[in-house]
Amino acid sequence: MAETKPLLRALSGETLPTPPIWMMRQAGRYLPEYRATRAEAGDFLSLCYNSDLATEVTLQPIRRYGFDAAILFADILLIPDALGADLWFVTGEGPRLSTITTEEDFAKLKGADDIHDHLAPIYQTVSNLASALPEEVALIGFAGAPWTVATYMIAGRGTKDQGPAHALMQENTPLFEALIDRLTDSTIEYLSAQIRVGAECVKLFDSWAGSLKGEAFDKYALAPAKKIISEIKDRHPGVPVIAFPREAGDKYIGFAKETGANCVALDNSVSPEWAAENVQVDGCVQGNLASSHMVTGGQALVDETRHIVQTFKNGPHIFNLGHGITPDANPDNVQLMIDTVREG
């Protein structure tokens, strides 16, 4: 049967008159209904592991705005949690994990095949969503890319420059590479399980890819993405993959071709003109409105949204932000963005 969901049509390379639209972190703290469900769950991780409430928050932005895709509500750090690295969130500060910096720390981690019991509630959420979503809305599963997840596991927290991970890469390359390999294998297992229970597309978030330069980018961002994508394609032919090597700059060029990704998600440090010429030539692109427009709104939001739609209109394009929407965003500005994308 020919694909009818707009998001999947764009991912298969079709140029649509109106790009499908969804938004990174579309279920999040800028929405009052999210804050209410999060309060009911207690804390963020309890919300991730409560399938009923995670299903509910995933559906909230679909009900409010009618996006073309829903993204599973979970977090990239659930993989380290499932591998046995303790994870907790400090309110107002972000994630904390037990650190992996020695062979002894690494030896305590579980194997890539042993993550599924811990992640069963996440698979239940995917399965709930597969039956609950309106028929034109696509369901996106996701995972963090190995490098980005490793930066949190090595430092035990978020870092500005990923210094501890770069240091381990230099000082104990075999250990660093063993961690990247364990995460690569776990990510294949995790994404594959999401697809088996109903994810129609998966996205790989490499939020800190931009801090890898030259050969390090090729070894630790590009190569793991290539391995994950080729394995997913072998196991689940026809399921599209979106890759997000955030702030990759020139390394966005050829990334889809090299890795086999069906779409490259763009952050807003690259111009739509540059990306249309250098990246969209190879297939679908996603992005790339600055998320600050969701805070400031007004004519600038309308102008920049039109500019992005116009610039990408001659090829396959999924409209999105360049990074996640922030908690201080105004929900009315999201509606204005959607109306502007769909006005033509």
What positions carry a catalytic annotation?
25, 29, 38, 75, 152
* Dihedral, CA of residue 41, residue 43, residue 49 and residue 52, to nearest 10: 20
What is the number of the residue whose Cβ is closest to ligand CP3?
Answer: 207
Write down the least CB distance from residue 322 to ligand CP3, Å. 11
Compare residues 11 and 27 and give the one whose CB is closer to ligand CP3. 27
Query: Residues 6 or more apart from 144 whose CB is under 8 A from it?
Result: 76, 77, 79, 187, 204, 205, 206, 207
Cα–Cα distances in Å, from 87 out to 26, 43, 146? 23, 13, 17
Measured CA to CA, the distance from residue 165 to residue 176 in angstroms comes to 8
Residue 289 bridge partners (DSSP): 321
Of residues 192 and 320, the one with the C-beta less far from ligand CP3:
320
Return the structure tokens found at 313.
């209109």
Least distance from C-beta 104 to ligand CP3, angstroms? 26
Q: Is 214 left (phi over 0), alpha (psi -120 to 50) or beta?
A: left
* Rounded distance between C-alpha atoms, residue 327 and residue 308, angstroms: 23
Q: Which is nearer to ligand CP3, 97 or 232 (CB)?
A: 97
Judged by the rule CB under 6 A, the positions of this chain that interact with ligand CP3 are 24-29, 38, 44, 71, 73-77, 94-95, 142, 144, 158, 205, 207, 324
Q: Least distance to ligand CP3 from the beta carbon of 195, Å?
A: 16
**Cα–Cα distance measured from residue 302 to residue 193, given in angstroms and rounded to the nearest whole number:** 39
> Which tokens go with 197?
């229970």
Quickly list DSSP for 3-42: ---HHHHHHTT---SS--B--TT-SSTTSHHHHHHHHHH-
Q: How far is the CB of 15 from ligand CP3 (least distance, A)?
A: 25
Nearer to ligand CP3, 259 or 311 (CB): 259
Q: Closest separation between CB of residue 41 and ligand CP3, Å?
A: 9
**Nearer CB in complex with ligand CP3: 62/341:** 62
